[in-house]
């Protein structure tokens, strides 16, 4: 864990040096205004400095938790709490829920100063934060409430499956999580997302007509087209789509509509997103996640009964949840390698989606839209190649513009 921290800190230092460069990359000279570059540079350096502090504190806390045996101590204390409350500490589900409640309380306390500083200092200083302190805490309370409602049944189900799974445990766990992911993907945009944001239909007009026409030409089963009030929390912009089979929906951030100069730029961004759908990127990503999840559960089944492994972390018993935590700690390097591989695939998908939009005549509009979004979001202009290769799921703007400027040889 410490070695991974040192490696990633080295990459962070390389990126920090790139952020300090006083000039734009040559490709962006004359494309990005000097004023926006200076603002972007200041914003990126602020975030980088904050990141160094946050990561250092995190590794200190995580190392202390392991070194001083905080996990087994906390597990023991959560059992004692149940006894004081007159509940059965031998019931693993109750014991696990009490343990998780304490962990959630602790994480909220330790994360709160960083969240407040990031939101009300860094984001506010650079003109992005639109939240009030009341809205911030209201969102936090809603998130905790959702976790309290949704979490216990899921945790209980996982514990029962592990206890009764037998030799096919990995398959049962994967099947449960697969069904759960489908349910959550269905319910989140309908029941959960509206708790935090207001979704309104995109008004009739030229923009709506152009998006519907594009969707129709690609046989995209667009059922609803929403605008979300992202500006109530931040001036960052985005667009996304969701839904199964013939019930697709597209969501535009109101900030995206404000930042793009004309409808063509917005439609070009949508064309890029529709490219992901048409090229089956969403399906491929979903399948990849399911395979990785199955492999993780398979790996967990190999260590869940390892008494020595539990004892090496200070546990005399072998609780299901603790087994998952220990397993996650033991495969940290592998998880980072997998994340690196997924980022490589994701960047490839982004280039393909850009090429798809270019194929339909949106090259200039997409180029203008990407530049505008880069400027308005004060996204990083100078990137270290090692850092971006390891961390970025989207290619830097320089690379995307270069790809858009090339002739589409495959299409020809």
Is 336 assigned a ligand-binding role in the annotation?
no
Spatial separation of the C-alpha atoms in residues 112 and 107, rounded to whole Å: 8
Name the token pair of 49. Answer: 């400095």
Residue 252, SS3 per DSSP? strand
User: Which of 392, 389, 295 has its CA nearest to residue 335?
Assistant: 295
Catalytic residue among 92, 123, 265, 273: 273
Of 273, 284, 282, residue with least CA distance to 225: 273
Q: 35 labelled as ligand-binding?
A: no
Question: From edge to edge, which strands make up the β-sheet containing 248-253?
Answer: 199-201, 222-228, 248-253, 239-242
Question: 45: which residues sit within 8 A by CB, 6+ positions away?
Answer: 16, 19, 20
Q: What is the largest CA-CA distance in the chain?
A: 74
- Nearest-10 crossing angle of helices 133-164, 92-117: 150
Spatial distance between the Cα atoms of 57 and 261, rounded to a whole number of angstroms: 42
Nearest to 236 by CA among 221, 250, 212, 253: 253
Among residues 264, 354, 375, 384, the one annotated as catalytic is 354
| Token output for 305 | 């009964």
Residue 244, Cα to own-chain centre: how many angstroms? Answer: 20
Which residues contact residue 251 at a Cβ distance below 8 angstroms, ignoring those fewer than 6 apart? 199, 226, 227, 228, 239, 240, 241, 242
Instruction: Read off the tokens for 321.
Output: 């949840």
CB atoms within 10 A of CB 113: 11
- In the structure encoding, which two tokens stand for residue 98, read together? 């009490």
Angstrom distance (rounded) from CA 95 to CA 78:
7
Please tell me the distance from the alpha carbon of residue 111 to that of residue 109, in angstroms, as a whole number. 6
Tokens found for residue 412: 């020809």
Helix, strand or coil, per DSSP, at residue 345:
helix
Per DSSP, what are the bridge partners of residue 201? 226
54 is in an annotated binding site: no
Which residues, listed in sequence order, are joined to residue 227 by a DSSP beta bridge?
A: 200, 252
In the annotation, is 273 catalytic?
A: yes
> Which residues are annotated binding-site positions?
272, 276, 350
Active-site residues, by number, are 273, 354
Binding site members for Zn(2+): 272, 276, 350
């Amino acid at each position: 864990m410490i070695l991974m921290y040192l490696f990633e800190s080295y990459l962070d230092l390389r990126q920090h040096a790139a952020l300090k460069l006083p000039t734009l990359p040559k490709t962006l000279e004359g494309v990005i205004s000097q004023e926006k570059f200076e603002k972007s540079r200041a914003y990126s350096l602020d975030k980088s400095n904050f990141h160094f502090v946050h990561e250092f504190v995190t590794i200190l806390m995580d190392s202390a938790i392991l070194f001083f045996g905080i996990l087994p101590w906390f597990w023991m204390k959560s059992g004692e709490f149940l006894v004081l409350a007159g509940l059965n500490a031998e019931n693993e589900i109750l014991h696990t829920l009490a343990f998780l409640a304490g962990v959630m309380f602790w994480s909220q306390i330790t994360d709160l100063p960083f969240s407040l500083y990031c939101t009300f200092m860094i984001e506010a200083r650079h003109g992005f934060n639109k939240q009030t302190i009341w809205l911030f805490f209201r969102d936090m309370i809603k998130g905790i409430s959702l976790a309290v409602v949704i979490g216990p049944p899921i945790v209980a189900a996982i514990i029962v499956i592990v206890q009764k799974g037998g030799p096919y445990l990995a398959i049962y766990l994967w099947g449960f999580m697969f069904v759960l992911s489908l349910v959550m993907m269905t319910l989140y945009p309908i029941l959960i997302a509206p708790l935090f944001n207001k979704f309104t239909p995109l008004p009739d007009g030229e923009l709506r007509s152009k998006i519907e026409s594009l969707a129709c030409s690609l046989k995209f089963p667009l059922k609803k087209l929403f605008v979300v009030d992202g500006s109530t929390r931040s001036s960052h912009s985005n667009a996304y789509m969701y839904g199964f089979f013939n019930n697709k929906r597209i969501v535009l951030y109101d900030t995206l509509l404000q930042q793009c100069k004309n409808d063509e730029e917005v439609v070009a961004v949508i064309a890029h997103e529709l490219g992901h759908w048409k090229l089956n990127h969403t399906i491929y990503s979903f399948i990849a996640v399911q395979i990785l999840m199955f492999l993780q559960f398979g790996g967990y089944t190999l260590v869940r009964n390892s008494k020595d492994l539990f004892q090496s972390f200070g546990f005399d018993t072998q609780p299901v949840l603790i087994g998952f935590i220990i397993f996650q700690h033991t495969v940290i390097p592998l998880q980072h390698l997998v994340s690196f591989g997924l980022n490589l695939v994701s960047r490839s998908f982004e280039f393909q989606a850009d090429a798809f939009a270019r194929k339909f005549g949106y090259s200039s509009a997409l180029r203008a839209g990407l530049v505008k979004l880069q400027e308005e979001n004060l996204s990083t202009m100078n990137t270290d190649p090692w850092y971006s290769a390891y961390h970025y799921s989207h290619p830097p703007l320089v690379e995307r513009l270069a790809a858009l400027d090339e002739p589409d040889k495959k299409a020809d």
